[in-house]
Amino acid sequence: MAKKIMCMGTSSHVGKSILTTALCRIFYRRGKRVVPFKAQNMALNSYVTRDGDEMGRAQVAQAEAAGMEPMVDMNPVLLKPTGNSCSQVVIMGKPVGNMSAKEYHQGYSLKAFEAVKEALGRLDRDYDTIVIEGAGSPAEVNLKANDIVNMRVAKYLNAPVLLIADIDRGGALASLVGTLELLDEDERELVKGLVINKFRGDVSLLTPALDFLEKKT
């Protein structure tokens, strides 16, 4: 059984993909058989594997960092926007049809999670370490019931979570504390570390913020 670690963010573009890539490289250099994983990606442009399957490009870069060839088990669900709040749904590298956001989130996503679990089962069997990337925020209360890429994955695997915020945009402390407040208690227990990303300047200026986070969380 593989060890797992999961990178989630307080929002999109906080650095989840880069941190996941970095962890893959670190574990690879330590001699681990490491594999990246993201349950669901949304991207217009996909990568086509040697077997002709489509997957997200971020996991391709992560696979390279892990010293391995990309494979669709790394990204079992891909949503390719087609316009008007619709996407082409790709499961295990193969298109299954176009769906509106409502159709997907309220009717199909939990079915897609079965493919996620099957892919994870194979990776868990074949690798030492799985580095998992979430998407957006795990605390979107309007989407949470049908979210298959964040806490549903972490809870399924009992994976420790790193929660990442981007201090370059401002509001990082509020984002971290607010996200934790919106999570259920069993979800908060999985969060084992907070990452303040993209800090520039004198790190001593950050000390009061770190002290606050330690007391608040």
Confidence grade of residue 201 (pLDDT, cut at 50, 70, 90): confident
Specify whether the CB–CB gap between 61 and 43 falls below 8 A: no
What pTM value is reported for the model?
0.95
- pLDDT higher than threshold 90 for residue 66: yes
Tens of pLDDT, residue by residue over 77-124, are: 999 999 989 999 999 999 999 999 999 998 899 999 999 999 999 999
Per-residue pLDDT, 170: 87
Dihedral over Cα of 120, 126, 129, 135: its sign: negative
Mean pLDDT for the stretch of residues 197-201: 91
- pLDDT higher than threshold 90 for residue 181: yes
Domains of the chain: 3-216 (3.40.50.300)
Tens of pLDDT, residue by residue over 26-38, are: 999 999 999 999 9
Q: What are phi and psi of 188, to 5 degrees?
A: -60, -35
Of 136, 132, 80, the C-alpha closest to 104 is 80
Specify whether the CB–CB gap between 58 and 38 falls below 8 A: yes
- pLDDT higher than threshold 90 for residue 217: no
